[in-house]
Structure formats: C-alpha cells, structure tokens
C-alpha cells in the first residue's frame, strides 16, 4: 500500500491510498490549500488503525 499526495485540477492538495493491485481504497474526500494540512490528514488516517469498529446495523437510530 502507498499514500499518493497530489494536486487536483483546482490546485488543491489531496491524497489517495492505493493498494498493490493499483486500486484506490480511500481518498481525502476534500482538497487542502496547504500541503502540510494534507500531510497531517494522512498522519491521522495512519493512526486510524487503532480505531475500533462499530457495527452500525446493530445501533438504534
């Protein structure tokens, strides 16, 4: 897996997470004006491995 950092057509910074077969499995969903903010978002996603999984089908709406 690898994170790809790039600029979109509007000049904003974005990231995407690509797996070995070339498929994108996640992306930033928003553009960032500053590269540093985009890199910070990548760092937050990397930390998400510690997040718990919640089965929302068992939650009462």
What whole-number distance in Å separates Cα of residue 45 and Cα of residue 40? 9
CA nearest neighbour of 6 among 24, 21, 44, 20: 24
- Domain ranges for the chain, please list them: 2-58
pLDDT at 36: 97
pLDDT at 61: 60
pTM score of the predicted model: 0.79
Domain 2-58 has CATH 3.30.160.160: yes
pLDDT at 49: 81
- In the chain, which stretches have pLDDT less than 70? 61
């Amino acid at each position: 897996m690898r994170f790809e950092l790039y600029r979109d057509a509007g000049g904003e910074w974005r990231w995407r997470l690509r797996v070995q077969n070339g498929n994108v499995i996640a992306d930033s969903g928003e553009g960032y004006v500053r590269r540093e903010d985009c890199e910070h978002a990548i760092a937050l996603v990397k930390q998400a491995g510690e997040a718990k999984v919640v089965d929302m089908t068992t939650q009462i709406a």
